Amino acid sequence: MKKNLTLIFSAFVLSMYAHAQTAEQIVDNYETQAIASNVEYKFAQTIDDDATQRVYTQRTFQGIPIYNSYSTYVIKNKQVISKTASENFNISLKNAAVSPALSFDQVINKIAQAEGLKVIADTKVNQNGVYISKDDAAEIVYYINNENQAILSYAFSYQLVKENQNDIIHVVIDAINGSVLEKHNNTLSCGHNHGSFHNENLATFNKADWDWLYDDAVNTASPQYNVYQLPLEAPNRGARTFADQAVSNTTASPNGWHNTAEGSVKTRTEGNNTRTARDHESKGYQTYSSSTNTVTIKDTDYADGGSALNFDFPIDLTNHPYTNWEAATTNLFYMNNMMHDIFYNYGFTEANGNFQKINFDKGGTGNDDVVALAQTGLALGAVNNATFATPADGKSPRMAMYLWNKTPEPLIINSPSNIAGNYQATIPTWGGTLTSTPLTKDFVLILKSETTGTPYDGCGTFTNTAEINDKIAIIYRGDCPFATKVKNAQNAGAKAAIIVNNVDGMINMSGDDTTITIPALSISKADGDKIVKELQNKVIVNGSLVKTEVSYIDGSLDNGIIAHEYGHGISNRLTGPITNANCLNNLEQMGEGWSDFFGLMITQLPTDKSTTKRGIGTFATNDAIDGSGIRATAYSTDMTVNPARYGFLKTYGNSDSPHNTGYVWASMVWDLNWKMIDKYGFSPDLYNGKAGNNMALQLVMTGLKLQPCSPGFVSGRDAIIMADEQLNEGANKCDIWSVFARRGLGYSALQGSTNSRTDGTEAFDMPPVEVLNCELSTSELKDSTFQIYPNPTKDVVYIVDKTIKNDIKVDIIDMVGKVVSTQTVKFDGQKGSLTTNNLPKGIYILKFKTDNGTITKKLIKN
């Protein structure tokens, strides 16, 4: 047989050329067909990630970068398998200015004047000022406004230090007139008045399920940490136990938790992943500098385990948290390392911008271990908070853990015995004051004659004034201001007033009336309902109101809050290039939601159910462990408990905090976790497990990498669908769609602008059958004799099946599940052909509708 050696040699050369192509060349070749003709771009970053490469390009105009305008490409086997882009990547632009009218010095001086401070260049933080580093020099960019106009601008970050504030501020300033176009605080503040965790049953906790975390045989040759070990969320879930180095991930932390960049081993709470210390004087908080990676921490502020690395320190939760600082610092050190080691398994690695002092030549910049400050803020008068500042790769983030005011228990029920005890209550800034001498009286339920509101809301004409005199009045919330209710009770002769909440949770009573002299306080609905029930049954309820001393709870012991804060660093670094820390500054971004999700995931128990109520921070906020917490509701798949939907964002509005937006997103991905558990089971092993919860966590983590800079809910959903295609060949696509559709993020949902929470449209539909037939299970899609070739292909695909006698219809579907082309394949008796020359390079699903049923095939387009 004669061979065509010229053709063989040409094919060999082409093959060698394809193999030798760089990631950037592959993207360039891909974009010759896919990109709009008027769009120019530059390469921003390429990240090698396991079996794939992730390439970021930044849109340019007139040779100048467009602010936060990126495309993300994933390359596998020398092929682009997915692409996402910021919403401003493909817009048409007209001519714009190319030369600034203001210098950068003029702009930064305007900023400093507005802050009432002076500019301080590149020095250690030691005074109030606007700090500018040479590494944070401004970038000239085009900022795209709401009219799609390109505005020449300076984009840069500065560190703002004044009073009790030390934050990283990112701004975009018009380079022509100096106006502020965007301003964001990159120190995310999570004053956790928003969410709490709840694990319903730790009585069935089985250590055998957690062998990867626990070792009952104490290894005295290994570091020992007496901490609240995962999956324990906090001290209100169980006692401390000893963790040793066996709980670490040796791939993520090959030299352990105490090795530093200098190669030495520290005996204190310091290592390659984190520097963790107490900060009672708030000096660490005030002196932290993101630009120089410096912070003032005294040697005596680290917990020191000695040469044996034995971090076993006493703790007494009835004392002031400062007396337990070594135990708290150890717990915070443990949790930062556990977050590092767990999420390394799911792709938060050196190349993807994780937090390490040295990166072991595995990619990324290094020199960015987490500065974790325990028990900070009180010296500055700051409590009830936790913050995480995330600069770009190569600069250390700062985690600040605060103390929390313990909700006082000024209410004591003396009788009847079935409800006797101490009760939490909140006290407003107005009204009479409690004293250390108890005010003891019988309780009375206020009644009114009006039919508006509720009978017990205290907002009308009282019908039991004589009974109220010299008693403590019980009043329900609603229908009129708090101060009005209390003043009405005072006028009726009450000696104090207790307002009962009409929804779950506690109330912070607003109002101000200097004529009110009786004490007022508020209690939860659950506690109030107990009292009201007894009064309705004509039982005498007697109680006392007494002043309680201010006490604090230590956030450094709440693993859920620590995980939430660390989660901000993960989502910030994985969204967009790791050189850009500003891709989650838009209004519809879901940063708070990912952080909640991460905290929920690492504290799951095998005994939990999908309907188990979960929240964030019950220990720090002194909530009851079965309460709904400080989010809008507890997290649950039961929509009567957690009704969150995409449409809620419109009701929140653009002036709302990001926490409610995050609550809706976390509700969706938490449902996804349970959908995957129902399908694949649960594993407590977050290092080696392959069950549904592990798969859900991986889908969300990979989705973070695939989504565009400045994402919204729809782009976040689509990124998770792409992640399933990349990780699982789309095996869970229908399940993922059903989860999102159930909460209003269905196929027809519209995102609108990602910089608005009010212009989205919710929808509850699944993809149409012609796009994704979720009525057929995988086992029903039989190939029989049906074959396609070549695969991968370039211009044409041939279909062979001798049983097919008629022409067939084929849908070509992209990785998100949308039909990009529909063709009719004509058969000649045994084969037909399908043209693919107009398709962009990538992976597609071909759905053939034949007389024998629907058949799907996966196709790679070169």
Q: List, in order, residues 6 or more apart from 195 with CB less than 8 Å away.
A: 596, 615, 616, 617, 629, 630, 631, 659, 663
Q: In DSSP terms, which residues pair with 859 in a beta bridge?
A: 844
Q: Which two tokens stand for residue 107?
A: 């702009």
DSSP conformation class of 790: S
Q: What secondary structure, in 3-state letters, does 483-508 show? A: HHHHHHHHHCCCCEEEEECCCCCCCC
Distance CA 17, CA 10 (A): 10
Q: Rounded distance, CA 477 to CA 499, Å?
A: 6
- Give 340's Cβ-side CA count (13 Å radius): 32
Does residue 565 carry a catalytic annotation?
yes
Determine which helix (DSSP H) or strand (DSSP E) holds 717, and give its type and residue range: helix 713-728
Q: Phi and psi dihedrals of 180, rounded to 5? A: -85, 115
- The answer to whether the peptide bond before residue 231 is cis (omega within 30 degrees of 0) is yes
Q: Which residues pair with 374 in a beta bridge?
A: 278
Query: How many whole angstroms separate alpha carbon 541 and alpha carbon 415?
Result: 6
Could you tell me which of 232, 619, 200 has the C-alpha nearest to residue 407?
Answer: 619
- Quote the tokens at residue 822: 């529909």
Token readout for 34 is 């896919």
Using only the alpha carbons of the chain, give its radius of gyration. 30
Task: Select from 759, 572, 743, 740 the least CA-distant residue to 652.
Answer: 759
3-class secondary structure for 24-52?
HHHHHHHHHHHCCCCCEEEEEEEEEECCE
- Rounded to a whole number of angstroms, the distance between the first and last alpha carbons of the chain is 30
Report CA 660 to chain centroid distance, whole Å: 12
Of the candidates 283, 284, 282, the residue with the CA atom closest to the CA atom of residue 270: 284
Q: Measured in whole angstroms, how far is the alpha carbon of residue 333 from the centre of its chain?
A: 21
Of the candidates 565, 588, 592, 725, the residue annotated as catalytic is: 565
CA dist 523 and 697 (Å) reads 38
- Token readout for 337 is 């390392």
Select from 374, 376, 354 the least CA-distant residue to 365: 354
Non-local (6+) Cβ contacts of 103 within 8 A are none
Query: Are 505 and 628 contacting, i.e. CB atoms less than 8 angstroms apart?
Result: yes
How are strands ordered across the β-sheet holding 808-813? 819-825, 808-813, 842-850, 853-861
> Is the bond preceding 397 in cis, omega lying within 30 degrees of 0?
no
- Collect all residues with Cβ–Cβ distance below 8 Å to 609 and sequence separation of at least 6: none
Tokens standing for residue 470? 């010299």
Q: What are phi and psi of 130, to 5 degrees?
A: -100, 110
The residues annotated with a catalytic role in the active site are 565
